[in-house]
Amino acid sequence: MLTGHFGTGLAGKKVAPTPSLGTLMFAAQFIDLLWPILILLGLLLAIYVGGLIGPPPPSVESIAIVGLSQWLFVLWAYWIDRNRENISKGVKDSGGQGFK
């Protein structure tokens, strides 16, 4: 996907030499930059509409339980991140020292 978009931007320079290369590269990747924002807005709209037409929650305790249980996903992601293995071969960890 990445090479296809860059290829489209570079090929566009040959077809239409007037616009700058940066403009063509941005145009080729504009949808990829825009769709996450549109999906987030659609999700927020669905949550808002669901809150307007849905029944109220049964109790304050249920809201608190759901809110606190979301931290389980944070702990799960932390555990996955700590226990994963580096699959790249020949790359040494610099130990936070950066490239030298």
What gap in Å lies between CA 80 and CA 83, rounded to an integer?
5
With cut-offs at 50, 70 and 90, classify the pLDDT of residue 30.
confident
Q: pLDDT tens digits for 49-99?
A: 998 998 887 899 988 998 899 999 999 999 998 888 766 666 665 555 555
Q: What are phi and psi of 85, to 5 degrees?
A: -105, 150
Whether 27 maps to a domain, the answer reads yes
In terms of residue numbers, what domain contains 37? 2-83
What is the model's pLDDT at position 5? 76
| Residue 24 CB coordination number (10 Å) | 20
Q: What is the pTM of this model?
A: 0.47
* Count of domains observed in the chain: 1
